[in-house]
Amino acid sequence: MKLKRRTFIQLAAATLGAFGLRAEAKPFFLERRRPWYRGEVTTLPSTCDQCFWKCSILVRVEGGRVRKLEGHPENPRTRGRLCPRGQGGLGQLYDPDRLKYPLLRTGERGEGKFKKASWEEALDFIAERMLALKERYGPETIAFFTHGGGESWFSEYLAAAWGSPNVAKPAVSVCVAPRETASQWTFGRPVGGHAPVDWTNARYIVLIGHHIGEDTHNTQLQDFAQALRRGAKLVVVDPRLSTAAAKAHRWLAIKPGTDLALLLAWIHVLIKEDLYDADYVARYTTGFEALRAHVEPFTPEWAAEITEIPADTIRQVARELGAHRPRAVLPPSRHTVWYGDDTQRMRALFILNALLGNYGREGGFYLAKAPYLEKYPHPPFPLEPAAGGCGGASAGKEEVPEGFRPRADKGKFFAKSTAIQELIEPMLTGEPYPIKGLFAYGTNLFAAIPNVPRTKKALEALELFVAVDVLPQEYTLWADVVLPDATYLERYDDLIAIAYKDPLIQLRQPAVEPLWEARPAWWIARELGIRLGLSRFFPWKDVEEYLEARLSAIGQSLEALKEKGFIQQRGRPWLSSWERWRQNPFKTPSGKIELYSETFAEAGLDPLPRYTPHPEPPPGHYRLLYGRSPVHSFSKTQNNWILLEMDPENEVWIHPDEAERLGVETGQYVWLENPDGVREGPVRVWVTRRIRRDCVYLVHGFGHRAPGLRLARGRGASDTALQTRYDLDPISGGAGLRNNFVRLVPGAPRPQHPPIGRLARERRL
């Protein structure tokens, strides 16, 4: 039976047992068993890289092998617990399918024919090609696509030293771009990696398409569970009865694509019935009167027609929000690229929070602070490093090449050079100038970027394509050079800065030597930099010297950090503490929370959010919705035997009325086909009342096709393959993915996979 049907995550009661085991508390079954080790166990702290949440871990090593991963009990964001993916990290480290040596392509792109090469040979080849391309087209002809723990050595170091502004991350324009842009232009602050919601003190929580419990982030899930335990009311707005919706007091099964209408109606009721926090609004916001006039027509009756949620329910939830303020909160989700008007939807969400007076207040949003850190004192780079968020990479010191300028000056809004899906176009067309080289680090191009056929064509047109990965994922078959990265348990990365209530600096350090001929990202970047004539930017001889220099600049030492694993500094989470210091947290042009945005108006954008309808599914088709599994991260964990055993394939969810009409049943395999003729699968059907009739649902990350992924290949369907279209958000550059539609085609064969239990046993330590 699959995980989701097993109440694996018992939010209210069992974060201890199901979600993670406390490091110091041994369950009885472990107490009674023979010890799993014979030799001496050494323990060292490090940081998980199974997802971007960056939990602090304790790595138990015995006999030169990592035996166990546990949550660091003293780290306030980990609290001795890990999620299943964190505990299953060994499955990546000891995966026999890992990339083992540098490879040089000998066949056609995509054919998968390579020869083994030495590191010298591979790095010399890359450097020679990069320098030749620079000579012909300039440094900007090389793009860098990056994600994951080691990415900063390329995105923020090598690319900046080399001088290319074309650094893009799927985690921006195929994920957080709308949320971050909206937050910046409403509050003048980023949301950042750890969504600063004060869950535990909230009394009324409204989740909009935010599937906590399936999209699993350790601290967030622990805090959310605690909020529910303390009696917080939960409303979930989702076309699907998600795990969170199953715990909710109200599930609002909204018509997909209409959330902005619902948000506008809630704003309408709060204002119309004087339920908003008038003092907070007067003191901290601008543009209230314009907002009041704007939302006048957006009554619950108007929204009910659009959203298919009854007007009375809309009104009732708005009243409950008002009654619980400021401890009523609508947390922003992370993956916010839905329909192409996503910055405006997120603006509406933030405006609603501001009306509740919860920003900078307990039970609402805390003001996250990044830790104080110094950069390594290298000579100034020709370009500013790429921004972690969106819209910043092009605001460099040198002129950004024409055509990649942001829409407004200085990276204000969307810069093409930061939107990964937009950077595919110049590879194909040469416009506004050619991109002839691509360096992809930890970015699964065929799972992360919509319109895979276009990506494949673009890769075919490149003169140099380098892939740095740990697995032979399908996109690596297109590369000229494939480089095997060390995993996070085998390498140092740069210092990890975490904005939190009290900010943290964390260390990732190697627990064991890299297996086979894998090499750590910092080493690859430095060796390549030296070959590219950039030695002056890499004066450190190894990463320990680099880290020591950064730490000593803030009065800390690498030795101490290696012992403890993290450093905690003091934050300033509440508005009251900022006021005590006579400081203003709102870095907007007006210095206030901008309900109405003058900047948007000047740029010809809607200064207040406006609802526009989205395309309906063509006859016989369903809107394709997608989400996460609690034991998988994107497309990177499906070959991990520990995690795959728990969740071996994705299923297509469909409503029973539609299943009956189509004559399909639970357990049967079907193809999914989109209007562009792309066919995916076979994928298992799950007939369930937990989804509306007008949409179907898939977990993202499955549907691997690479022959080298012996466990993952051929399991389930890829949502990305079916997303041949996207709607560009003109403000953030986000790629809205949810205007894609599919039909179910019965008659697909049941795939024959080797029994997963046997495969798992073969791989056990």
477-516 binders of ligand MGD (CB under 6 A)? 485, 487-488
Terminal-to-terminal C-alpha distance of the chain: 25
DSSP-derived 3-state class of residue 16: helix
Q: Does 287 bind ligand MGD (CB under 6 A)?
A: no
Q: Does 53 bind ligand SF4 (CB under 6 A)?
A: yes
Q: Which stretch binds ligand MGD (CB under 6 A): 195-203, 249-257, 467-475, 648-656?
A: 467-475
479 touches, from ligand SF4, ligand MGD, none (C-beta below 5 to 8 Å by class)? none
Q: Which residue has 């009375």 as its token pair?
A: 312
Nearer to ligand SF4, 58 or 721 (CB): 58
Sign of the dihedral defined by the CA atoms of residues 132, 133, 138, 144, in that order? negative
Round to whole Å and give the CA distance between 742 and 197.
35
CA 361 to chain CA centroid, Å, is 26
Q: Out of 199, 339, 634, 686, point to the residue binding ligand MGD (CB under 6 A).
A: 634
719 touches, from ligand MGD, ligand SF4, none (C-beta below 5 to 8 Å by class)? ligand MGD
Q: Does 48 bind ligand SF4 (CB under 6 A)?
A: yes
Shortest spacing between CB 86 and ligand SF4, in angstroms: 2
DSSP state of 656: H
HEC string of 589-646 equals: CCCCEECCCHHHHHCCCCCCCCCCCCCCCCCCCEEEEEECCCCCCCCCCCCCHHHHHH
Q: Out of 77, 690, 700, 763, point to the residue binding ligand MGD (CB under 6 A).
A: 700
Round to whole Å and give the CA distance between 296 and 608.
13
Round to whole Å and give the CA distance between 53 and 221.
12
- The DSSP H or E segment spanning 665 is none
Token pair belonging to 425:
């176009």
Buried b (16+ CB within 10 A) or exposed e, 204-231: bbbbbbbbbbbbbbbbbbbbbbbbbeee
Q: Which stretch binds ligand SF4 (CB under 6 A): 51-59, 100-108, 151-159, 661-669?
A: 51-59
Give the helix ranges, DSSP H, for 276-365: 278-284, 288-295, 300-307, 311-324, 342-355
DSSP-derived 3-state class of residue 693: coil
DSSP-derived 3-state class of residue 437: strand
Nearer to ligand MGD, 15 or 443 (CB): 443
82 touches, from ligand SF4, ligand MGD, none (C-beta below 5 to 8 Å by class)? ligand SF4
Q: Left, alpha or beta for 705 (phi > 0: left; psi -120 to 50: alpha)?
A: alpha
Contact 401, 166 (CB under 8 A): no
Q: Out of 70, 277, 469, 658, point to the residue binding ligand MGD (CB under 6 A).
A: 469
Tell me which amino acid residue 705 is. R
Q: Does 443 bind ligand MGD (CB under 6 A)?
A: yes
Nearest 5°: the CA angle 265, 269, 273 is: 170
Round to whole Å and give the CA distance between 618 and 741.
8
Q: Does 470 bind ligand MGD (CB under 6 A)?
A: yes
Q: Does 147 bind ligand MGD (CB under 6 A)?
A: yes
Q: Does 522 bind ligand MGD (CB under 6 A)?
A: no
83 touches, from ligand MGD, ligand SF4, none (C-beta below 5 to 8 Å by class)? ligand SF4
Count of residues that interact with ligand MGD, criterion CB under 6 A: 34
Q: Does 596 bind ligand SF4 (CB under 6 A)?
A: no
Shortest spacing between CB 759 and ligand SF4, in angstroms: 22
Token pair belonging to 392:
């910043």
Contact 357, 326 (CB under 8 A): yes
DSSP-derived 3-state class of residue 195: coil
53 touches, from ligand MGD, ligand SF4, none (C-beta below 5 to 8 Å by class)? ligand SF4
Nearer to ligand MGD, 201 or 421 (CB): 421
Residue whose Cβ sits closest to ligand SF4: 86
Q: Which stretch binds ligand SF4 (CB under 6 A): 49-57, 105-113, 140-148, 508-516?
A: 49-57
DSSP class per residue in 102-155: -EEE-SSTTT--EEE--HHHHHHHHHHHHHHHHHHH-GGGEEEEE-STTTHIII
Q: Does 390 bind ligand MGD (CB under 6 A)?
A: no
Nearer to ligand MGD, 119 or 302 (CB): 119
Residue whose Cβ sits closest to ligand MGD: 634
Shortest spacing between CB 443 and ligand SF4, in angstroms: 18
Tell me which amino acid residue 424 is. I
DSSP-derived 3-state class of residue 549: helix
737 touches, from ligand MGD, ligand SF4, none (C-beta below 5 to 8 Å by class)? ligand MGD
Q: Which stretch binds ligand SF4 (CB under 6 A): 95-103, 210-218, 321-329, 491-499?
A: 210-218
> Per-residue x/- marks for ligand MGD, 30-69, CB under 6 A?
-------------------x--------------------
Q: Which stretch binds ligand MGD (CB under 6 A): 178-186, 274-282, 428-436, 466-474?
A: 466-474
Q: Out of 11, 82, 352, 468, point to the residue binding ligand SF4 (CB under 6 A).
A: 82
Q: Does 170 bind ligand MGD (CB under 6 A)?
A: yes
Round to whole Å and give the CA distance between 522 and 514.
13
598-617 binders of ligand MGD (CB under 6 A)? none
Round to whole Å and give the CA distance between 82 and 70.
6
48 touches, from ligand SF4, ligand MGD, none (C-beta below 5 to 8 Å by class)? ligand SF4
Neighbours of 290 (CB within 10 A): 15
218 touches, from ligand MGD, ligand SF4, none (C-beta below 5 to 8 Å by class)? ligand SF4
Angle formed by the axes of helices 521-531 and 543-552, nearest 10°: 100
Q: What pairs with residue 744 in β-bridges?
A: 672
- The DSSP H or E segment spanning 310 is none
Sign of the dihedral defined by the CA atoms of residues 91, 95, 101, 105, in that order? negative
Shortest spacing between CB 489 and ligand SF4, in angstroms: 12
Q: Out of 11, 45, 80, 86, point to the residue binding ligand SF4 (CB under 6 A).
A: 86
Binding site for ligand SF4 (CB under 6 A): 48, 50-51, 53-55, 82-83, 85-86, 216-218
Binding site for ligand MGD (CB under 6 A): 49, 147-150, 170-171, 174-175, 335, 441-444, 447-448, 468-471, 473, 485, 487-488, 626, 633-636, 700, 719-720, 723, 737
